[in-house]
C-alpha cells in the first residue's frame, strides 16, 4: 500500500519497523530515528501526501494537529511545553516527502534557524 518507494508509506504499512507511540484511524506517531530533543515524535498521515503544500483536507489537518497535542501530553510535555513543526519543501528543510509533523520537547528549544 502507499506510494512506491516512500519510506514513510512503508513505515505506515509496517514493512519498515518503527517505534509506534500513537495510532488512530488517520495518523500514526513514531519516534524519530535521529532525535533532535529528548522527545522527538513524527506524526504521519496514513495516506501518502507529499507535504503540507499538498494537504487540502481540513479534517485531516485537524486530526494531525490534535494528534500532536495528544502525543505531547502522553509524552509528559504538557507542563513545560513543546514544539510542533512541519518542514515543507527544499528550502523548508524537508528530507522525507511524506507529510509529517515533528513534536519536539524535553529541553529548552531555541529559535528556528
Instruction: Catalogue the active-site residues.
Output: 100
Answer for which of 12, 27, 30, 37 binds ligand 5GP (CB under 6 A) is 30
The answer to whether residue 108 forms part of the interface with ligand 5GP (CB under 6 A) is no
The answer to whether residue 34 forms part of the interface with ligand 5GP (CB under 6 A) is yes
CB of 7 to ligand 5GP, least distance (A): 5
Q: Which three cell numbers stand for residue 59?
A: 479534517
* Segments of the chain assigned E as strands: 20-23, 27-31, 39-45, 82-85, 101-105
The answer to whether residue 32 forms part of the interface with ligand 5GP (CB under 6 A) is yes
* Torsion angle defined by CA atoms of residues 42, 30, 64 and 40, in that order, rounded to the nearest 10 degrees: -40
Instruction: Identify residues 37-76 at the interface with Zn ion (CB under 5 A).
Output: 48
Q: Which three cell numbers stand for residue 67?
A: 494528534
* Alpha carbon of residue 105 to chain centroid: 13
**Which positions touch ligand 5GP (CB under 6 A)?**
7, 16, 18, 30-34, 42, 87, 93-96
Amino acid at each position: 500500500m502507499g506510494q512506491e518507494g516512500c519510506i514513510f508509506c512503508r513505515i505506515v504499512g509496517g514493512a519498515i519497523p518503527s517505534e509506534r507511540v500513537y495510532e488512530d484511524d488517520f495518523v500514526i506517531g513514531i519516534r524519530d530515528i535521529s532525535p533532535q530533543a529528548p522527545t522527538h515524535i513524527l506524526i504521519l498521515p496514513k495516506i501518502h501526501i507529499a507535504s503540507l503544500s499538498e494537504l487540502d483536507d481540513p479534517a485531516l489537518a485537524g486530526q494531525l494537529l490534535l494528534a500532536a497535542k495528544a502525543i505531547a501530553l502522553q509524552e509528559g510535555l504538557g507542563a513545560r511545553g513543546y514544539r510542533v513543526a512541519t518542514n515543507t519543501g527544499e528550502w523548508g528543510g524537508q528530507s522525507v516527502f511524506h507529510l509529517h509533523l515533528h513534536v519536539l520537547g524535553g529541553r529548552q528549544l531555541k529559535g528556528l534557524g
